[in-house]
Amino acid sequence: MASYQTFNPFNGEIVRTVELMDSAAIEQRLAAAEAAFPPWSALSLAQRGDYLRRFAAGLRARKDEIQRTMTAEMGKLRREALAEIEKSAAACEYYAEHAADYLKPQPIATEAQRSYVTYQPIGCVMAVMPWNFPIWQVIRFLAPGLMAGNVAVLKHASNVPGCADLLRALAVDAGIPDGVFDVLHIDNDQAADVLRDRRVKAVTLTGSERAGRSIAANAGDQLKKCVMELGGSDAFVVLADADLDLAVAAAVKSRFDNAGQTCIAAKRFILVEAIADAFVQRFVEATKARSYGDPNQEASTLAPMARADLRDELHKQVQESTSKGATVLLGGAPVAGSHAGYAATILDQVGPGMPAYAQELFGPVAAIIRVKDDAEAVRVANDTSFGLGGSVWTADAAHGEQVALQLECGAAFVNSVVKSDARLPFGGTKRSGFGRELADHGIHEFMNIKTVYVA
């Protein structure tokens, strides 16, 4: 049987040897999922909610063990991991409480005696998930999915198998019946076969554009519904009247938390010329306070990147940007002697044709783009193939809202970093994907939105 190893991104040590499942093991999971669907979907929402509440309690009870696994597998700072676990538990409880409201039949006035829309589950949903928020990304699809009455199989990113197994163990601890949620340790070719299986009704992917193309093509070939949550290069637009203390603190947090590996991190800092110098000077000073180190230590405020190859890829993007005219104000290189560390980096004079302008920089590198005025800021913010999120910083909230409405993205925030929240729909436009997670939109994605008409 094929196997591979995972490595701790801080010290390079082997974390685990993972054996890929063979076809008999995959078959057993898919058969269990098929068998689990009818009884699971027949439970009341209150019963499914009880399972989710127990799952949330398990997340909290085992938070130290889960944190250690996240940190060992993908390098997340301890405090960030604990916050992610709490956010995930709260989202389970949120859906346990609100699903009944989201799934209420919607009456529609027609000439019929009764006509309405009702929401029915579809069966087994496959999830292909990334490593950057190894617990939260899974919960984002799993909590609404289970409340909807669907069952699920997860193919997690290959570098976080321990996180995947812990999620499965929490489901078992919560008493969730066999087959309702399972984990497949499989490679991408096996994932394509699973998606083709008749028992898998739909797929949700969070990951790169490259993975999106492949999985969406496969889903299209099978005429199966898919949701694509892909990359982003969010604009952080600072207008002339912005509160710079607020904006700079937010910029540092948004760009350098999680070692810059967040889809909705601010990546392009678009500064109108009136405040550009002042913002840049404060941004550089504030970023210097980020200190690289062991992610299990409280003193560390910049984590390693998740894998050495991803760090090397990022460095190539930085080098190509500087060779085309970007200037390095801070950092600009791997952390010397580290396994997968990259220095907190700020690039100035970023412009069209550079990777820092046109591509996603999935690591701790900020790109400064200077513009004349608000109109040019909007034009540059939209001059990207991505459309995930964007933020606008200004003392005039009403004007900020007008600018936010012009951003081509799935979520535009004014005077706040872009964030995910179980109450708010989340997803992208353009090449950042399609479909939505979270809130009511998220729970409806993988349901049959069924019209009933009684003449």
Beta-carbon contacts of residue 361 (< 8 Å; ≥ 6 apart): 233, 260, 267, 314, 317, 318, 355, 367
Catalytic residue among 73, 80, 84, 229: 229
Work out whether 215 is an interface residue with ligand NAP (CB under 6 A): yes
CA–CA dist 282, 276 (Å, integer): 10
Work out whether 229 is an interface residue with ligand NAP (CB under 6 A): yes
Least distance between ligand NAP and beta carbon 215 (Å): 5
| Number of alpha carbons in the 13 Å side-chain half-sphere of residue 450 | 12
Exposure b/e, 48-87, CB count within 10 A at least 16 = b = bbebbbbbbbbbeebbeebbebbbbbbbbbbebbbebbeb
Q: Give the residue with the Cβ less far from ligand NAP, 370 or 436.
A: 436
Least distance between ligand NAP and beta carbon 189 (Å): 8
Work out whether 128 is an interface residue with ligand NAP (CB under 6 A): yes
Interior angle at CA 111, CA 107 and CA 115, nearest 5: 25
Beta-carbon contacts of residue 366 (< 8 Å; ≥ 6 apart): 251, 255, 266, 267, 269, 283, 287, 345, 346, 347
> What stretches of 62-77 show up as alpha helix (H) in DSSP?
63-74
Could you say which of 132, 301, 384, 394 contacts ligand NAP (CB under 6 A)?
Answer: 132
Least distance between ligand NAP and beta carbon 421 (Å): 13
Q: For residues 222 and 196, is the Cβ–Cβ distance under 8 A? A: yes
Q: Which stretch binds ligand NAP (CB under 6 A): 52-60, 101-109, 131-139, 270-278?
A: 131-139
Q: Is 263 a catalytic residue?
A: yes
CA–CA dist 173, 176 (Å, integer): 8
For 334, which DSSP code? B
Work out whether 342 is an interface residue with ligand NAP (CB under 6 A): no
Query: Rounded to a whole number, what is the largest CA-CA distance in the chain?
Result: 74
Q: Give the residue with the Cβ less far from ligand NAP, 182 or 348.
A: 182
Least distance between ligand NAP and beta carbon 176 (Å): 22
Q: Which stretch binds ligand NAP (CB under 6 A): 104-112, 129-137, 329-337, 363-371?
A: 129-137
Catalytic residue among 163, 226, 263, 409: 263
- Helix, coil or strand: residue 70: helix
Least distance between ligand NAP and beta carbon 374 (Å): 27
Could you say which of 206, 258, 391, 394 contacts ligand NAP (CB under 6 A)?
Answer: 206
Work out whether 230 is an interface residue with ligand NAP (CB under 6 A): yes
Secondary element (H or E) of residue 235: strand 234-238
Exposure b/e, 247-276, CB count within 10 A at least 16 = b = bbebbbebbbbbbbbbbbbbbbbbbbeebb
Beta-carbon contacts of residue 11 (< 8 Å; ≥ 6 apart): 339
Q: Which stretch binds ligand NAP (CB under 6 A): 8-16, 25-33, 154-162, 297-305?
A: 154-162
Work out whether 125 is an interface residue with ligand NAP (CB under 6 A): no
Work out whether 363 is an interface residue with ligand NAP (CB under 6 A): no
Q: For residues 75 and 10, is the Cβ–Cβ distance under 8 A? A: yes
Work out whether 445 is an interface residue with ligand NAP (CB under 6 A): no
Least distance between ligand NAP and beta carbon 187 (Å): 6
CA–CA dist 346, 286 (Å, integer): 11
Q: Which stretch binds ligand NAP (CB under 6 A): 58-66, 149-157, 342-350, 376-384?
A: 149-157
Please report, as residue ranges, which positions from 234 to 253 form the binding site for ligand NAP (by CB under 6 A). none
Q: Is 84 a catalytic residue?
A: no
- Assign 3-state DSSP to the chain and report helix, strand, coil percentages, each to 5: 45, 20, 35
Encoded one letter per residue, x for contact with ligand NAP by CB under 6 A and - for no contact, window 403-432 reads -------------------------x---x
Least distance between ligand NAP and beta carbon 224 (Å): 14
Name the token pair of 284. 């550089």
Q: How many residues bind ligand NAP, per CB under 6 A?
A: 30
Active-site residues: which are they?
Answer: 229, 263
Chain residues that interact with ligand NAP, rule: CB under 6 A: 128-132, 137, 155-158, 188, 191, 206-208, 210-211, 214-215, 229-232, 263, 360, 362, 388, 428, 432-433
